[in-house]
Amino acid sequence: MRVPCCSVCHSRYDEEERAPLLLHCGHGFCKACLSRMFSASADTSICCPRCRHPTVVGNSVQALRKNFPILSLLASSPSSPSFDYDFTDDDEGDGGGGDGEEDNEDDYFGSSGRCRRSGFSSHPSVSGCCSASGSRAASTSAIDLGSHHDLKLLRRLGEGRRVGYEVWSALLSKGSSFSSGQNGRTCRHQVAVKRVAITEDMDVVWLQSRLESLRQTSMWCRNVCTFHGAKRMDGYLCLVMDKFNSSIQSEMQQNKGRLTLEQILRYGADIARGVAELHAAGIVCMNLKPSNLLLDASCRAVVSDYGLPAILKRPTCRKARSVPEDCPSSLHSCMDCTMLSPHYTAPEAWEPLKKSLNIFWDDAIGISPESDAWSFGCTLVEMCTGSVPWAGLSAEEIYRAVVKARKLPPQYASIVGVGIPRELWKMIGDCLQFKPSKRPTFHAMLAIFLRHLQEVPRSPPASPDK
């Protein structure tokens, strides 16, 4: 028999801090999780993590109705350490294979189109010994891969643009000798895994050192998907990170391809904040696009897939690794080796670094933080119009338009007339400047988003009867 647990924090219900409470939509969660959501809310309502239906709470979540059937079940249930807790959120029943209808190649978390809004979490699903004491969940702590030895792949979510790249939903736990933690709870974490096949020309030691450096560098950044490290398993390198079940792309698909102005500004501010902190840590994202911009339980956007294209690029494209990192030749990155999506790739990322006798020529400086501004501009074009930039064109046609003709995405002209503030429209155009030095910083873009968010009136929560 499985004891019901909160689908947000995956902790067992009790009669005190984890008491099961019901929202107006009928979905239930523990009091601790609802209290955190309520404290983060800007008004007196809570949006259901499953269906996003708003519930007017008042002054405290204490006013919500308790789920008495679950309390009755708890009263009749044993609390021994051997009792089985349901932490898997039905992922194990999905099997380990794909369903023949794979998602976007870089969408780590199964969030493209077929996103399941129920049960997505803002942090790793933590239970047992890794849970924080009391009502505090381990929302900011990383998972120690050194002590969590067992990685069980549950369901394939998609394939990469390159052969041997797969994305899986997985369950990470400690070995049998460490299986029980505080109060006898099983320590298990729902995670997403990007699995990369190890080939003969790979320098695995070099890869693991770069990935560990990425983990340490990004661990304090906000509004980013936490990267927990890499494990070598069965001829694959498994990159472990937080699991989310929704993204900006899936949100657009559910709204017929469009977002409201408030959503554009709110998500834009979250993304700008996350990328600005990554840049401050010396990390270039390289792969900003709607499917890699995920949504947590509070519907805040987080950045994923940051820094990985530069590390996982084709080994045949890497130059001699004996060259110092500050030498221009070590910055080599091109479309062939990074496998970036052409619809969001900056002009300077299409070709390897070029040298010029003119030291003032900055049109080919290689991939840099300014390259992320171009990708973000293309992403904002899609968020405003619902159309993918350069839709209908092949990679070669996009290359000629972006690099040779220096054109803007044709969808950019469609932003005018859809209620977008002129300053935001101009900012997007600045992001799409051909010269990287003319593009705005993410700190400057964050200020613009926050300034216009203050001018957007918040709509009152809908009645539960509607």
The mean pLDDT of 254-264, rounded to a whole number, is 86
Residues 6+ apart with CB under 8 A from 115: 245, 246, 247, 250, 253, 254
CB atoms within 10 A of CB 425: 16
Least confident of 82-86, 169-173, 351-355: 82-86
- Residue 58 confidence (pLDDT): 76
Q: In the structure, what pLDDT confidence band is assigned to residue 376 with cuts at 50, 70 and 90?
A: very high
With a cut of 80, say whether residue 452 has pLDDT above it: yes
Q: In the structure, what pLDDT confidence band is assigned to residue 57 with cuts at 50, 70 and 90?
A: confident
- Residue 286 confidence (pLDDT): 87
- Residue 267 confidence (pLDDT): 96
With a cut of 50, say whether residue 213 has pLDDT above it: yes
Domain boundaries, the chain: 1-77, 248-453
CA dihedral (232, 277, 303, 306) positive or negative: negative
CB atoms within 10 A of CB 317: 13
Q: In the structure, what pLDDT confidence band is assigned to residue 338 with cuts at 50, 70 and 90?
A: low
The mean pLDDT of 173-188, rounded to a whole number, is 57
The mean pLDDT of 206-213, rounded to a whole number, is 92
Q: Is the pTM of this model over 0.85?
A: no
- Residue 82 confidence (pLDDT): 39
- Residue 306 confidence (pLDDT): 94
- Residue 337 confidence (pLDDT): 55
Least confident of 57-61, 142-146, 328-332, 426-430: 328-332
Q: In the structure, what pLDDT confidence band is assigned to residue 91 with cuts at 50, 70 and 90?
A: very low
More confident position, 437 or 16: 437
What does the alpha-carbon distance between residue 302 and residue 292 come to, in Å, rounded to a whole number?
Answer: 8
More confident position, 38 or 264: 264
Q: In the structure, what pLDDT confidence band is assigned to residue 436 with cuts at 50, 70 and 90?
A: very high
- Residue 104 confidence (pLDDT): 47
Percent of the chain with pLDDT over 90: 33
Query: Which CATH number is 248-453's, of 1.10.510.10, 3.60.15.10, 2.60.40.420, 1.10.3720.10?
Result: 1.10.510.10
- Residue 329 confidence (pLDDT): 41
Mean pLDDT of the chain: 76
Q: In the structure, what pLDDT confidence band is assigned to residue 334 with cuts at 50, 70 and 90?
A: low
What does the alpha-carbon distance between residue 445 and residue 377 come to, in Å, rounded to a whole number?
Answer: 11
More confident position, 353 or 399: 399
Residue found under tokens 């009867």: 465
Q: Would you say domain 1-77 falls under CATH 3.30.40.10? A: yes
Closest by CA position to 381, among listed 259, 266, 227: 259
Write out the H or E segment, with its range, that includes residue 151.
Answer: strand 150-159
Question: Cβ(32)–Cβ(22) under 8 Å?
Answer: no
Between vectors from CA 251 to CA 31 and to CA 408, what angle results, nearest 5°? 140
